[in-house]
């Protein structure tokens, strides 16, 4: 059974930075793609960034390109989301997710079978 545990959320001023972490356990993740999604109050969950575990290829939604960086540490089974130049509109609950049959990173949440519990990111003015 795959388990994903996020950490690193919190309150930060606009323009600041946070690094989210996702600890993955339970499987070998070589064939997986890992994604970060977020959901703001009253909005649908949206894809933020993703990475293929074996090749390290990445994909970002347009609104975070140049500000967010996704990475993974295979030895530690950790996935990170470095968030810089945070904006008020980045406020949301952020979720780590795993897609076990990933030939590429997909932005659709239905492809991801495993989800963490989420971590709150709040950006203040």
Output the CA angle 8-14-17, nearest 5 degrees. Answer: 35
What the block records as the tokens of 54 is 């074996």
Catalogue the E-assigned strands of 1-125.
3-7, 10-13, 18-25, 33-39, 46-52, 58-60, 68-73, 78-83, 92-99, 114-115, 119-124
Give the pLDDT score at 31.
84
Strands 10-13, 18-25: pairing is: unpaired
**pLDDT of amino acid 99:** 95
Q: What is the largest CA-CA distance in the chain?
A: 41
pLDDT value of position 94: 98
Given a cut of 70, the residues of the chain with pLDDT beneath it are none
Q: pLDDT value at position 30?
A: 84
Instruction: Judge whether 12 and 26 are in contact, CB under 8 Å.
Output: no
Residue 119 CA to residue 10 CA, distance in Å, equals 8
């Amino acid at each position: 059974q795959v388990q994903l545990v996020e950490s690193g959320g919190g309150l930060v001023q606009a323009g600041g930075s946070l690094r989210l972490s996702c600890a993955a356990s339970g499987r070998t993740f070589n064939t997986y793609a890992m994604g970060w999604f977020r959901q703001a109050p009253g909005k649908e969950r949206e894809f933020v960034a993703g990475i293929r575990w074996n090749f390290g290829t990445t994909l970002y939604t347009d609104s975070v390109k140049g500000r967010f960086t996704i990475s993974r540490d295979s030895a530690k089974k950790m996935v990170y989301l470095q968030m810089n130049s945070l904006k008020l509109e980045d406020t949301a609950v952020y979720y780590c997710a795993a897609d076990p049959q990933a030939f590429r990173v997909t932005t659709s949440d239905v492809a991801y079978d495993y989800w963490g519990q989420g971590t709150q990111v709040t950006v203040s003015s």
